[in-house]
Structure 1
Amino acid sequence: MINQLYNTDTIVAVATAPGVGAIAVIRLSGPEAINITNSVFKGKDLAKQTSHSIHFGTIRDEDKVLDEVLVSLFVAPHSYTKENVVEISCHGSDFIVQQIVKLLLKKGARLANAGEFTKRAFLNGQFDLAQAEAVADLISSDSALSHEVAMKQMRGGFSQEIKRLRAELVHFASMIELELDFGEEDVEFADRDQLRSLILNIQKIIRELLKSFELGNVIKNGVPTVIVGKPNAGKSTLLNKLLNEEKAIVSDVPGTTRDFIEDEINIEGITFRFIDTAGLRETTDKVEAIGVERTMQKLSQSSLIIYLFDITEVTATEVQAELDRLNPQKLPLVAVANKIDRASDDKVKAFESIEGLVTISAAEGANLDELKQALVEKVNLGKLNTQSQTIVTNLRHVDSLNKTYAALDDVLNGLGLGMSGDLVAADIRRALYSLGEITGEITTDDLLDNIFTKFCIGK
């Protein structure tokens, strides 16, 4: 970890989203952030003010007043980046914002790169790399669960787990390295049985972390949920009702939906990415046939399937056969009988053999709450404890954990074969390197650029 000032220059960026609003925030960070702002600010002398204070005044370009503003001061090292940070709250006019930014650039600041504020915070030791990545996850969180997981990771929950595992490995690595210094005396400082037990325990923890990624990916990115069924089963009507808007075209003409339509809703803190697909049937229409083919592709990529059927048009036997054909991988699936408002009680009762069946009327919005509850139960997050359970949500972390696991396998094999300490130590160092990549104890410029360029400007 580099624990020093990232650079000698001062950066500036608009920290609020583009567009006209009541206010906009312009953020500066760097050794000259306060002095540069002070040179265009008419009010109190900012250089004499304390950290975490707010001051009213005007921003002026020579004698021309650009805006009345509030200036917030964060004096190093008591700031997000551990540098001097200034946040100028001005009116949200794009013209005003651009005029102030141009003035600050003229006074010596430069435009910040994407994610550069957070990159400086990492390089200056404010937090580790996993926590820095959690900042981006927190900004993009769009559900209660994704917010909870990102908040825990930003506060160091996942990092502490990794650092603890790494510290235990470092101890044994140092003992083996010490043995190498006394190679001629044939001494053994590292107990091989204890090392083997430690490796097995760490691998068990890594397996649990890797297993958590399946849930973590769902929490972070949502559940890809494909709505499939025959033409005119009511798929588009159902999607519109779930979204509470006319997203999909509804028509009595079969084959209206020829490509997939996608949108998201949040149900009990879980984001579902619903995909309305073309109706499943044999067709000579080339365009519709392409839509059906894409439906099958979306099925293979989904995590959850809603199979919707018109209860007045089919039998339970036909539905069961279609379910078996469409879902050979046994993905979580909810069978939904639509148009119960047109069916007799005896007709509905005839479908009781379909496991987990939900009966609805998409047109009338009947029983949609029951459908939503069935979807939540299928995702199976009910026992998830985001406060105590460590959850992996980042594919980069998964890759590093897999590399660590493989290196630890090599350590175990080396111990079993009675390999020399230098070879065992080399495999332990590989494991330490991979774990270090997660928290940023081991970094490269390419890795940092790849991570922080995905951030928004101003963060």
Structure 2
Amino acid sequence: MSFSLHEREDTIVALATPQGVGAIAVIRLSGKDAIRLVNQVFKGKNLETAASHTIHFGTIRDGEKIIDEVLVSIFVAPKSFTKENVVEISTHGSSYIVNQVIKLLIRQGARPAKPGEFTQRAFLHGQFDLAQAEAVADLIHSDSESSHQAAISQMRGGFSNEIQHLRSELIHFASMIELELDFTEEDVEFASRQDLRVLVEKLLREIELLIASFDLGNVIKNGVPTVIAGKPNAGKSTLLNALLNEEKAIVSDIAGTTRDFIEDEINLGGVIFRFIDTAGLRETTDTIEAIGVSRTQEKMKTASLILYLFDLSDTDMVEINRDINKLENLGVPFLKVANKIDKANPLFINKLREKHPDTIFISAGQKENLDLLKNRILELVNLDKFRTGNTIVTNIRHYDSLVKTRQSLLDVLAGLDHEVTNDFLAMDIRRSLHYLGEITGEITTDDLLANIFSKFCIGK
């Protein structure tokens, strides 16, 4: 999705609130003719003489027919979200009313907005950079305190400022190297190679921190996939229901009740965890159950956290040690969760505490020690850096550009080591600047913008 110059000059219209019946709906227009077009169908104050950031009561009319009583908000360029004239019409939430008003405005000369077109216009007019524009979409979709805070920080320019800082430091040396290319015959050095090495090594350290933060950022944005694993009848479905505080999974004394995985989300400490109740881990001749067990093993490999749940009344130490060894070889962080303490032998509990002191003892059925389990789960998600204000990368596009930047800077160091000519050195520095510029939008293509903004909702 790309926009021609003519399309960028159109006045666009779209519903800015969710589809469906509600108390109110907000219809948004943006473009040089936005105020004039609405004024043609609005009976009340003359909107073309109204001051910016004012609200006016009146009616929207199709000829003499009243469609609705509305409130119209006026934002005069450049003091608006898109830096164009913007009008927001608050109507009653009837889908019939919304459709009638939008069709009327289209007949007056507006055209339907494409996904993300309002935000794209804001970016193109310099309201914010590309990373901040993407944060708008993240903010809309944030569903936890941590994802909301990450989006707010990025939208307010925290990440962009860091990228701009990295880029500006490198631009100086890039210009000096380029200058040397114009004076190759004079054999002069405008850029100290040692100073360049020190700068590149410093930038690499900062970029490595940003790249490393993506694991945490991905968790903040998309949630923590957490697999509940264990043999049949360990109480996995009961634990899922207890954590969710609803009867999500079928609970039965019959082994192998869960044939496939069941997934739902819970907010713990401002972080979304996607808990996955899986088929039991055991050898089985049941074809359907075997498929479920196979899927369980695949889910465990891709999880960020595994809750290894076992029944204290029906599991011996040999079996527990065997399962723990398998999990350690898997390389995924896991918690040892001993279930049904209300039915367990106290001597076995003491033995287990001695052998595996980090075990969490719960009763999923009685909802005992669940708060302790939740706290231990949160401890494994390190939010300390995030909560102290450090920049966190949450966007896969930004991560990819940073990885490419790192490689380009490593190529600069390799070039310095091998004393390559200035033209090759300049090429690697330019590539580094290019990839950093892609993040904030100094370097863009129509295809890149189309890919980013096509993922936005219409009306934003």
Same fold? TM cut 0.5: yes
Tell me what 1:337 maps to: 338
Unmatched segments (≥5 aa) in structure 1: none
Q: Secondary structure at the match of 1:390?
A: coil
Tell me what 1:326 maps to: 327
* Cα gap change, 1:249 to 1:222, in 2 (>3 Å): same
Tell me what 2:90 maps to: 89
Mean CA deviation greater in 407-416 or 149-158:
407-416
CA contact (8 A) 1:225 1:274 kept: yes
CA contact (8 A) 2:113 2:458 kept: yes
CA displacement at 1:385 relative to structure 2: 3.5
CA RMSD of aligned residues (A): 1.5
Tell me what 2:119 maps to: 118
Q: Deviations over 1:117-147 (max 9, x none)?
A: 1111111110000111111111111111111
| One-letter identity of the residue aligned with 2:295 | R
1:192-207 pair list within 5 angstroms: 192-207=193-208
Q: How many residues align?
A: 456
Tell me what 1:48 maps to: 49
Q: Distance in 2 between matches of 1:220 and 1:151?
A: 12
Q: Deviations over 1:158-208 (max 9, x none)?
A: 111111111111111111111122222111111111111001000111101
TM-score with structure 1 setting the length:
0.97
Q: Distance in 1 between matches of 2:262 and 2:277?
A: 5
Q: Secondary structure at the match of 2:8?
A: coil
CA displacement at 1:262 relative to structure 2: 0.6
CA displacement at 1:351 relative to structure 2: 1.6
Q: Distance in 2 between matches of 1:319 and 1:8?
A: 68
| One-letter identity of the residue aligned with 1:417 | H
Q: Distance in 2 between matches of 1:316 and 1:79?
A: 67
| One-letter identity of the residue aligned with 1:366 | E
Mean CA deviation greater in 76-85 or 414-423:
414-423
| One-letter identity of the residue aligned with 2:369 | N
Tell me what 2:76 maps to: 75
Tell me what 2:243 maps to: 242
CA displacement at 1:348 relative to structure 2: 2.2
Tell me what 1:58 maps to: 59
Percentage of matched positions with identical amino acids: 63
1:8-407 pair list within 5 angstroms: 8-352=9-353, 353-381=355-383, 383-386=384-387, 388-407=389-408
| One-letter identity of the residue aligned with 1:378 | L
Q: Secondary structure at the match of 1:320?
A: helix
Q: Deviations over 1:254-304 (max 9, x none)?
A: 111101111110001111000000011111111110000000000000000
Q: Distance in 2 between matches of 1:50 and 1:386?
A: 41
Tell me what 1:7 maps to: 8
Q: Secondary structure at the match of 2:96?
A: helix
Q: Distance in 1 between matches of 2:327 and 2:55?
A: 61
CA displacement at 1:106 relative to structure 2: 1.1
Mean CA deviation greater in 302-311 or 356-365:
356-365
Q: Distance in 1 between matches of 2:328 and 2:297?
A: 10
1:412-451 pair list within 5 angstroms: 412-451=413-452
Mean CA deviation greater in 114-123 or 405-414:
405-414
CA displacement at 1:329 relative to structure 2: 3.1
CA displacement at 1:388 relative to structure 2: 2.4
CA contact (8 A) 2:261 2:292 kept: yes
Q: Does 1:456 pair with 2:457?
A: yes
| One-letter identity of the residue aligned with 1:215 | L
